[in-house]
A and B are shown apart, each in its own frame.
Chain A
Amino acid sequence: ELKVEQNPLFLSMQEGKNYTIYCNYSTTSDRLYWYRQDPGKSLESLFVLLSNGAVKQEGRLMASLDTKARLSTLHITAAVHDLSATYFCAVVPGSGTYKYIFGTGTRLKVLA
């Protein structure tokens, strides 16, 4: 059974600081997604990573994928309050399947 673990589970950081969220998965997957969820809201897609070494950036967020290590990172640069949310990574366990296995989520709080 594919497992997807994120760490940390909770992250409280000051505005302007940098930090990284880690996503480890246990078996081969051909793609990895990052989503954001604001309290009481739905999930919003941030990034899709499809190959080893893939890097995507949007504003203060940058995601990368290392398929050999089965690791993805979401790096936050110079955090601002608006980034406060819960971040999830998700993998699809192999081609031909249609279910997304989500990580445990990282609840990020950016303090002013």
Chain B
Amino acid sequence: KAGVTQTPRYLIKTRGQQVTLSCSPISGHRSVSWYQQTPGQGLQFLFEYFSETQRNKGNFPGRFSGRQFSNSRSEMNVSTLELGDSALYLCASSRTGGFPTNEKLFFGSGTQLSVL
């Protein structure tokens, strides 16, 4: 079956702009989470959605937001882009987001965002 799909694969933006990234989870998966990956900070949790509700949020400023639609697809938005927002943004899906306890995350290929 199809894996987690993220679009676009690459993005180049300038400071001050905003950006929207998209994630389509594996069919049947209702949990979608987002992670930011940078060489300096590693993988950091942004937020997690399940059935259109945000259940957890990481320590990121309010410029980072997300949402989930009824078909489980998710988008994340970053407003007023800063140079430090340049990163690989990874989306992951699972059936329930962590329960039963042996559930693992399935990651997409990510969106590489460059802010100039």
Q: Which residues of A contact B (CB under 8 A)?
A: 30-31, 33, 35, 41-45, 48, 50, 88, 90, 92, 97-105
Contact = CB atoms under 8 A, between A and B. Distances in A.
B101 A99 contact: no
Contact of A105 (B31, B42, B102, B110): B42
A88 B43 contact: yes
Interface of B: 4, 31, 33, 35, 42-45, 48, 50, 55-56, 58, 90, 92, 97-98, 101-110
Contact of A43 (B48, B90, B102, B103): B90
Q: Which 9 A-B pairs have the closest CB atoms?
A: A102-B43, A99-B45, A98-B97, A45-B104, A43-B107, A42-B107, A98-B48, A42-B109, A99-B56
Helix, strand, loop or mixed for chain A's interface?
loop
Nearest to B57: A99
Given A97-B56, A98-B50, A41 B97 contact: no
Nearest to B112: A40
Helix, strand, loop or mixed for chain B's interface?
strand
B31 A41 contact: no
B101 A31 contact: yes
Contact of B110 (A42, A97, A98): A42
A99 B97 CA distance: 8
A45 B45 contact: no
Given A98-B31, A98-B56, A99-B33, A92 B42 contact: no
A100 B98 CA distance: 9
Contacts of A103: 42
Contacts of A104: 42
A89 to B, nearest CB: 11
Given A104-B42, A105-B42, A97 B98 contact: yes
Contacts of B58: 99
Given A31-B101, A48-B102, A50-B101, A100 B108 contact: no
Contact of B101 (A30, A41, A43, A45): A30
Contacts of B4: 42
